[in-house]
Amino acid sequence: MEGVDLFVVTAGTGTRNPRLDWEPERDTIAVNVLGFAALVNVAVEHLEARRAGHLVAISSVAALRGHGHAPAYNASKAFMSIYLQGLRHRFSRQHLPISVTDVQPGFVDTAMAKGDGLFWVAAPELAAQQIFEAIRGRKTHVYVTKRWRLIAWMLKAIPDWLYHRL
């Protein structure tokens, strides 16, 4: 991996699991937490040895709040975002020019977008273009598509008592 200076980590799986059956929860945690951290660890070791580069990971808008039908998915995506934030802090303290980009998509028209009543579902081509622009611009964070910033703002602003009634 001598010349590699960009890593894009897209480890992710999830399922609606309103009964909280353990197997789907375990599988989601295994991929989205353990698999993610294992891949990122390899990337970090390489980038620190190079003393430069760019790490990009795909988390999700789901990282912003828990959800009763997919708690492992939302929590694992929050893990990803916080882990990336920790790495950004690590590189900053080491004065290393290593960029870290957290991509938080909303719904994209892929096999992961399951369920009825999905809204603002983006074409994969549009999502890919916005992710590419974020990588090229070495953004710290990006919502995909950009309009998901509004949903993110609402998810952060709404009090728990109201969120739980939705």
Q: Is 83 a catalytic residue?
A: no
Q: Secondary structure of the chain: what % helix, strand, coil (to 5)?
A: 50, 15, 35
Structure tokens at 51: 């003393």
How many other CB atoms sit within 10 Å of the CB of residue 131? 21
Please name the helix (run of DSSP H) or strand (run of DSSP E) that holds residue 101, with its range, or none: strand 98-105
Structure tokens at 67: 């959800």
Closest CA to 83 of 64, 103, 102: 102
Catalytic residue among 73, 83, 143, 163: 73
Edge to edge, the sheet with strand 141-144 lists 6-9, 53-58, 98-105, 141-144
Alpha carbons within 13 A on the beta-carbon side of 8: 8
Catalytic site residues?
Answer: 73
